[in-house]
Amino acid sequence: MSYSELIQGYFERSVALQWYWTVFILVIGGVLGFSAFRQRPDLITTLLVMVLFAGFAYKNLGAIEATAEERHAFLTAAKAVPDEGPGAADVRRARTALDPVMPAYDIPAARYFHIACSILTVAFLGAAEWRRRQATDQPAAK
């Protein structure tokens, strides 16, 4: 692959990574909105939403990690392209401009943040259900 193809692949993976995070945040917003506006307690619905969200979060995290690894592979390959030979001046010029804006992705930090957000979301779902039950003085079992 040429240097320009590697750089294009790097930025395509960056866009894909951003989309996975955007979808994750939108789903959290939808789940929290759904839970916040429900008025009647319903343990089965709450448990179902928790399980479905946990499954989504698990798969989304896997997609984020895989895409970040692909992005890292493109970055590594782009940095390995020699800057001598035909087109060397163009590669050097591009590297000078692009290297500062192409950082490595911290996969463990992203993983921990994703897990923390997921745990907080599930905790909110449980707390909202508990609050609805307290407001109606209904027993916990259905």
Tens of pLDDT, residues 19-71: 999 999 999 999 999 998 988 889 999 999 999 999 999 999 999 999 999 99
Classify residue 141: in a domain, yes or no. Answer: no
- Tokens 């993976």 belong to 13
- Measured between alpha carbons, how far is 66 from 44 in angstroms, rounded to an integer? 33
Classify residue 70: in a domain, yes or no. Answer: yes
- Asked whether 47 and 128 are in contact (CB, 8 A), the reply is no
Classify residue 95: in a domain, yes or no. Answer: yes
Classify residue 14: in a domain, yes or no. Answer: yes
Specify the 3-state DSSP secondary structure of 29.
Answer: helix
Classify residue 114: in a domain, yes or no. Answer: yes
Classify residue 123: in a domain, yes or no. Answer: yes
Classify residue 47: in a domain, yes or no. Answer: yes
What is the span of the domain harbouring residue 22? 3-136
Q: 107: which residues sit within 8 A by CB, 6+ positions away? A: 65, 68, 69, 72
Classify residue 142: in a domain, yes or no. Answer: no
Number of domains observed in the structure of the chain: 1
Encoding tokens for residue 16? 């894909």
